[in-house]
Structure 1
Amino acid sequence: MENYNQTPTDFILMGLLPPSTIGLFLFILIVLIFLMALFGNLSMILLIFLDISLHKPMYFLLSQLSLIDLNYISTIVPKMASSYLFGNKSISFIGCGIQSFFFLTLAGAEALLLASMAYDHYVAICFPLHYPIRISRRVCVLMIIGSWTVGSINSCAHTIYILDIPYCRSRAINHFFCDVPAMLTLACTDTWIQEYTVFLSTILFLLLPFICIAFSYSHVLLAIYCIHSAEGKKKAYSTCSTHLTVVTFYYMPFAYTYLHPKFLCAPTEDKALAVFYTILTPMLNPVIYSLRNKEVMGALRRVIQRISSVKM
């Protein structure tokens, strides 16, 4: 028996999973992915902090990506899991605003940080002699601060708007989190201004960074073509293609969901696409960007040996 416990100002999150055996299976799978994401991202943050050989701009950016993903998936999955387990799908008006703010801040910061990481990779491959100047510690810090700051400013603008507009009697959000496009469908007023700002934000935070990333990787692939070692080429091509695949997993479903007009919204499709950029990507990032890296694996072995020697 579902217990909404709804007050006049509450929203209802309709959720992602059906109350069936398939729904239970998917719930267990999502919880496992959530735990893997937490373990993978937290491990990366600690590893980069503990091993001095990873105190480089590239890994500093990776640690920030892990920090974002750690908070990103924690903003969505715990509430979705508790709603499924206990049947209480209600979320307060302020709680919905807080969830939306953190989601948009982290999503915007990640989109810009992935572009910064692609630029770092581009300079390292195409201009290795200029790398210490172009990607100095100061530049790295500025890229990180810029990602967080711009992401939070964009999030603040959208959150204030969705908390200010009037909503109709029905407050059932057909989603598993407080997503702006899903909330706009419940508004009692014309939301063309907000729809336009969402469209503009999607262009600035998703499409343009993705185009820049694709452009940088195309140059990287051209540079890799000049590598004489067949093994080096194979490894570099594999790394680039894997990185680009994960980036596409994040940007494209996100952009598609936020770019199509409100009257073309298909809630089931939107929720399925949202799984890619809210749940799967935070789990895949530490694997793709870090655990396949020889320097990271070497650092992991050294840290494990140090811990083992201390215990003995």
Structure 2
Amino acid sequence: MPEGLNKDLRKMISDHADLKALTIKDIITASDGTRKILFSLEDASVIETVVIPSARGRTTVCVSSQVGCAMNCQFCFTGRMGLRKHLSTAEIVEQAVFARKLFSDEFDTITNVVFMGMGEPLHNVDNVIKASSIMVDEQGLQFSPRKVTVSTSGLVPEIKRFLNESNCDLAVRDWIMPINRRYNLSMLLGTLREELRLRPKSIVLFEYVMLSGVNDSVDDAKRLTELVHGIPCKINLISFNPHSGSQFKPTPDENIIEFRNMLIQSGLTVMVRLSRGDDQMAACGQLGEPGDYQLPLLRVPEKFQVAL
């Protein structure tokens, strides 16, 4: 509760408002300047938020939407935790607020927000839509809608709802995910084609995590080109960040560049995301601490066994 308020006003606020705040537990600095903030929640759960500076004047805050995650994506450390709880709208927004307060002097300003921290954002769709709306509202955090990106592993009904209720950007990550058993690629891509046809100015960002010997061949590049045909999109190639909870290995940098060039030659717009903060477990797919309880790894199909 803010200091300096009289007793009656303090009581009225307590009766009608929820002022639970995140508490900073630790701030860890990686060798490249990336910051990982550990926040304690009221119930002592811990979430992680990452602030990523760039030499181009762009500073991104990567916010979490859940404690843990139910998706159990096989390349993601957070997935080993299972889902512990959804974050409230306030807990999501406050991560961006804290990032601004802590680093505005050092990085000038936070320019971008990505919902790519702990959790599957669209599994907590109500609070994520509310939080992203507050972030772009003129009376909220005043981010440009084009600077706020919500990532998903492919929850089809929630994608439809998000595209109808939010004007923020959507990123879809897809590979080695149990959720694909429920919403297969054809259904996911068909939904995107259908929804984006109604929004001619919108595009989707496909996040493609590159796993050595699994999805980084010439045939995989051709297959990816065919899959996204007709969808207004950009492709973001992500180098797999190793951790103790996964059996996979990262694709070598030179192979990623070759893969990128093949996609570009096919007419696609392609970016390569550099790993940031990986020496402090702050990079994509490295957040969280499963502890003693961990979800089991899925059995890797025989055709990929040689890559492990």
TM-score by length of 1: 0.21
More helix by share: 1
Structure with the higher fraction of residues in strand conformation = 2
Rg (Cα) greater in structure: 1
Higher relative contact order (CA 8 A, sep 6+): 1
